[in-house]
């Protein structure tokens, strides 16, 4: 059961294997910082930086990067808290010049010292690989590109480092995130009763799979895949809340105030999840409402992720659990549900529930119909958002919101969708065509 139930969000989990979740410490023992000999091009213009190569990676003075990128779409602010020994980085904010930026410190090798300062990115404590050289903090260029989502590349023919703020950051093949959270939300450990029957352990595995997915969502969020992260949180929440509400129905008890208590609301957390229709059908079946159960199972079966075979049989054992087992299970479900909603606050979709909402093409078709029939941009955007909730890794799903927000002259939101779309699908033809059009329009 564990082999199959942990694929609550199979596409996202597979993708996560190529990214990894890693925190690390740094040591400067035996390291040498050598002046970078390569030329540097920033948005097509050659710029001379005071930069060093450490362990075959290029490190740039943080304030020099902020100075050069100031005024671009990837500008960021740098603040220093001397009392707290902390560096604060704020994306999208203009950089304040303090003097000394772009000064060349001279040739010669240096001994780098790991930066001891705490580092905050948009208010969250993070780990960077950073070194202090002659009183200045030098950060790995690719890590800064990852943090603020701008392109970094190496032109081997011309031996040139390329920085492009009009492109999204693209991780190197097999690379792990260079920027990781320090204060990651804590998810309480799952308590599995040692004497729990096999049928009950099935559901504890189900809960653990959802909690593990949330940790994955956190990793996506902090490398800029915001909508992918929200999709994962929503899928986890829909799975946990479906089982918890099914248990409430089987116990004949009303959930506490503030807890989701209807199937439509739970389903709206993740249209891609088969869990709401399945567990709604299970409750109908347990109550002897065979027609209603069959209808829910029919709708669930349309979803490519529908439970099947032994998975389905094991999940249906929920109907046969006694009151004590149900209450014990509910206690763990409530803890998991509270963790997800407290730390991640998944956003519910506002579109009506429908058995085809798992299909992004259906949702985008509904969005287009809203525009064609009524010129209803609000409804169209809700359907486009739902398509991204279902599959945030298909670049085509970003194109609709980009166009609508641009027409509405909500340029910041349009570019936010465009940037994230290019981050997850840098070769997408639609998004690159839109980028070219927008560059032309903004001239």
Residue range 42-98, pLDDT digits in tens: 999 999 998 999 888 899 999 999 999 999 999 999 998 887 788 999 988 999 999
Q: In which residue are the tokens 């930026």 written?
A: 101
List of domains in the chain:
34-181 (no CATH), 199-343 (no CATH), 360-441 (1.25.40.10)
Rounded-to-integer distance, Cα 378 and Cα 308, Å: 37
Give the pLDDT score at 397: 93
Rounded-to-integer distance, Cα 114 and Cα 105, Å: 19
Question: What is the CB neighbour count within 10 angstroms for residue 202?
Answer: 20
321 secondary structure, DSSP code: -
Q: In which residue are the tokens 């980028």 written?
A: 435
> Distances in Å between the alpha carbon of 311 and those of 53, 161, 249?
52, 51, 21
Give the pLDDT score at 177: 61
Question: What is the CB neighbour count within 10 angstroms for residue 115?
Answer: 22
254 burial type by CB count under 10 A (0-12 exposed, 13-18 middle, 19+ buried) = exposed
Residue range 231-271, pLDDT digits in tens: 999 999 999 999 999 999 999 988 888 899 999 999 999 99
- DSSP code per residue over 242-260: HHHHHHHHHHT-PPPTTS-
Q: In which residue are the tokens 């099935």 written?
A: 202
Nearest-CA neighbor of 339 among 270, 201, 440, 236? 236
| pTM for the full predicted model | 0.61
Give the pLDDT score at 136: 86
Spatial contact of 98 and 113, defined as CB atoms under 8 Å apart: no
Rounded-to-integer distance, Cα 24 and Cα 31, Å: 17
Give the pLDDT score at 402: 92
Rounded-to-integer distance, Cα 423 and Cα 74, Å: 14
Residues of the chain with pLDDT under 50: 1-29
Give the pLDDT score at 8: 31
Q: In what order do the strands lie in the sheet containing 118-121?
A: 76-81, 86-91, 118-121, 124-127, 180-181
Helix (H, G, I), strand (E, B) or coil at 218: helix
Name residues whose C-beta falls within 8 Å of residue 158's C-beta, 6 or more positions apart in sequence: 39
Rounded-to-integer distance, Cα 187 and Cα 343, Å: 9
């Amino acid at each position: 059961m564990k082999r199959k139930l942990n694929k609550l969000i199979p596409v996202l989990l597979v993708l996560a294997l190529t990214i990894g979740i890693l925190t690390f410490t740094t040591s400067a023992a035996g390291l040498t910082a050598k002046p970078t000999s390569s030329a540097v091009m920033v948005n097509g213009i050659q710029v001379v930086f005071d930069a060093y190569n450490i362990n075959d990676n290029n490190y740039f003075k943080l304030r020099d990067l902020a100075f050069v990128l100031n005024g671009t779409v990837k500008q960021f602010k740098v603040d220093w808290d001397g009392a707290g020994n902390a560096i604060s980085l704020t994306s999208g904010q203009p950089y304040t010049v303090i003097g000394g930026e772009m000064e060349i410190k001279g040739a010669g090798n240096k001994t780098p010292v790991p930066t001891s300062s705490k580092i905050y990115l948009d208010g969250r404590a993070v780990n960077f690989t950073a070194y202090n050289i002659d009183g200045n903090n030098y950060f790995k260029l690719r890590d800064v590109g990852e943090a603020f989502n701008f392109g970094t590349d190496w032109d081997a023919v011309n031996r040139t480092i390329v920085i492009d703020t009009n492109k999204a950051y693209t991780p190197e093949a097999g690379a792990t995130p260079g920027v990781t959270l320090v204060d990651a939300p804590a998810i309480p450990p799952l308590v599995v009763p040692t004497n729990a029957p096999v049928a009950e352990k099935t559901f504890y595995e189900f809960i653990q799979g959802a909690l593990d997915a949330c940790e994955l969502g956190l990793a996506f969020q902090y490398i800029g895949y915001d909508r992918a992260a929200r999709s994962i949180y929503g899928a986890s929440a829909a799975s946990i809340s479906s089982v918890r509400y099914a248990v409430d129905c089987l116990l004949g008890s009303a959930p506490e105030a503030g807890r989701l208590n209807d199937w439509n609301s739970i389903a709206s957390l993740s249209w891609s999840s088969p869990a709401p229709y399945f567990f709604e059908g299970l409750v109908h079946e347990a109550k002897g409402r065979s027609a209603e159960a069959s209808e829910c199972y029919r709708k669930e079966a349309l979803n490519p992720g529908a439970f099947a075979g032994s998975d389905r049989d094991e999940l249906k054992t929920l109907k046969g659990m006694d009151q004590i087992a149900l209450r014990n299970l509910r206690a763990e479900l409530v803890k998991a549900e509270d963790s997800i909603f407290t730390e991640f606050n998944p956003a519910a979709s506002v579109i009506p529930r429908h058995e085809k909402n798992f299909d992004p093409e259906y949702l985008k078709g509904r969005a287009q119909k809203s525009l064609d029939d009524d010129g209803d941009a609000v409804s169209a955007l809700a359907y486009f958002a739902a398509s991204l909730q279902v599959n945030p890794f298909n670049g085509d799903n970003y194109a609709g919101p980009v166009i609508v927000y641009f027409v509405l002259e909500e340029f910041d939101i349009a570019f936010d969708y465009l940037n994230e779309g290019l981050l997850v699908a840098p070769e997408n033809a639609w998004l690159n065509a839109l980028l070219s059009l927008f560059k032309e329009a903004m001239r």
